[in-house]
Amino acid sequence: MREFYGVALDTPLMLGTAQYPSPAVLAESFQRSGASVATVSLRREQGAGQDFWQLIRDLGVHVLPNTAGCHTVKEAVTTAHMAREVFGTKWIKLEVIGEEDTLQPDVFGLVEAARVLAEDGFEVFPYTTEDLVVAGKLLDAGCEVLMPWGAPIGSGLGLNNLFGLRAMRAHFPDVPLVIDAGLGLPSQAAQAMELGYDAILLNTAVAKAGDPAMMAEGFARALEAGRLAFDAGPMEPRDMAAPSTPVIGKAFLE
């Protein structure tokens, strides 16, 4: 599996920690999913206190703090610095939200904030769109990972722009790519892995399921299937039928 800032993850699943019905359900979901990374909002930590932080420690996974809910460069940078102090990690999932209805990233502010944080020693995981120009600027700013959205956060719509996501994978073959946001079903996660993406970040699809732990396990199995399919080299689609049974040697009746 591809490394993220020099860290090789055991599994390609990154799982959020918000909106679960109870701490016990959160812990069981992580256990059954085998997730390697827990994303944590600084605002969530402040609201839940030391009990929540101890729960995250007990999960035994890498912690990826995020700047969820930030709308300006200053706010995102300030939150990142606070998160580094609280969680003791250089990793930061960088969000700079630019539009309220879709929670689409402000890509201009995102690039600026990424440059500031990278220069300050952070290892930035930017939540971005599938725009190739923006992706290139984020890499130039010091990012070594890209996290394009599949669809708006919490929408469950899946992969809205297959062409754009496929183009990003082809354009940046050596960059770790993570689908972040918008997935609602394990089949959508498998599709992302079939495109050659390296990991998936989820929250709402698991936390808001009728049985979050069961859904978490379903996503884990789908990711494994999708990765196997990509590594196996899938057949190319075609417009016309092709017989699966050989016709050479078959008798023809007149």
- Torsion angle of alpha carbons 29, 33, 34, 40, nearest 10°? -50
Q: Please, where are the H alpha helices in the chain?
A: 23-33, 42-48, 50-59, 73-87, 107-119, 132-140, 162-171, 186-194, 204-207, 212-232
- Which has the closest alpha carbon to 29: 224, 223, 202? 202
Q: Report the alpha-carbon distance of residue 224 to residue 228 in Å, rounded.
A: 6
Find out whether 29 and 55 touch, Cβ atoms under 8 Å: no
Say whether 93 is catalytic: yes
Which is the catalytic residue, given 90, 93, 137, 250? 93
CB 13 within 8 A of CB 34: yes
Instruction: Specify the pairing of strand 91-94 against strand 123-128.
Output: parallel
- Whether the Cβ atoms of residue 162 and residue 188 lie closer than 8 Å to each other: no
How far is Cα 220 from Cα 238, in angstroms, rounded to an integer?
30
Neighbours of 104 (CB within 10 A): 16
Catalytic residues: 93
